[in-house]
Amino acid sequence: MLTSCPYRSFSSLLVRRTLQYSLWNKSTVRTTYSNEFTKNDLLRRYNDKHASTYLNQFRYLLHLKDAPTAPLSLGVLGLIPFAAVPVYMYSTGIYSPDLAFTQLAYSASILSFIGGIRWGKLLEQSNDWKQYTYSILPSIAAWLALLVPGRWSLLWALSSLQGFAFYDVTQPGYPLWFKGLRVFLTAVSSLTLFATLTLSFVLPKKQAKTKNTERTM
């Protein structure tokens, strides 16, 4: 007569599998687990252990040397509208709300462009509502930056650039050189926004030419 095996005998069986995770240094992690744990549990534990922090994103700067010439050159040239505003105001010794607003408007256009990058990436292979929804958030943040009154608008734009950059570099699908370029461009543009914000406190303020600029900046 056939007898059934005890349930505990099955629960004690050890299933050996190898999970490989591609890391930034091209190393792999091998994990052995029993059937008491699922693959998702192990993935969650690994992600918790190796969770990205703000400073960790700067490691991608090591791959900036691998960036193609075209995106690297255009990206650096795209920093000129950011840097020109605080440099000009510092050299003249006068804070200009009109110039500050042009920097804010340019920041809003860059935020919209950032969302477009993610949207374009998703068109090839995804129908993920979550990812598509995220891709339109930078555009909404850009719109809000133009609505937030006073110096808070600059702070909002700065925080949005930093926040979306940090999230993007932790996502798969982007080449390492692009992540390095993204970190570099975001860091420089954020510093210029912070410089403009600082100058708004220390320099005498020039009268704004438009009521909208006066309200915003």
Write the DSSP assignment of 141-173 as a string of letters: HHHHHHHS-TTHHHHHHHHHHHHHHHHHHTSTT
Amino acid in position 9: S
pLDDT, the chain, mean: 79
pLDDT tens for residues 37-88?
Answer: 565 565 555 455 545 676 788 888 999 999 999 999 999 999 999 999 999 9
Greatest alpha-carbon span in the chain: 98
**Long-range contacts, stretch 163-171, CB < 8 angstroms, 24+ apart:** 164/111, 164/114, 164/115, 164/137, 164/138, 165/57, 165/114, 166/52, 166/54, 166/57, 167/134, 168/114, 168/118, 169/52, 169/57, 169/60, 170/52, 170/57
- What is residue 70's three-state secondary structure? helix
Neighbours of 4 (CB within 10 A): 5
Q: Could you tell me the two tokens for 147? A: 């609505």
Nearest residue to 182 (alpha-carbon basis) of 113, 109, 81: 113
Q: What is the distance between the alpha carbons of residues 192 and 188, in angstroms, rounded to a whole number?
A: 6
What is the per-residue pLDDT for 217? 63
Confidence band for 145, pLDDT divided at 50, 70 and 90? very high
What is the per-residue pLDDT for 211? 64
- What is residue 85's three-state secondary structure? helix
Nearest residue to 120 (alpha-carbon basis) of 72, 173, 82: 173
205 beta partners: 95
pLDDT above 90: residue 159: yes
Contact (Cβ atoms closer than 8 angstroms) between residue 217 and residue 104:
yes
Q: Provide the 8-state DSSP code for 59.
A: G
pLDDT above 70: residue 34: no
Confidence band for 120, pLDDT divided at 50, 70 and 90? confident
More confident residue, 2 or 59: 59
What is the per-residue pLDDT for 184? 95
pLDDT above 60: residue 3: no
What is the per-residue pLDDT for 194? 97
Confidence band for 171, pLDDT divided at 50, 70 and 90? confident
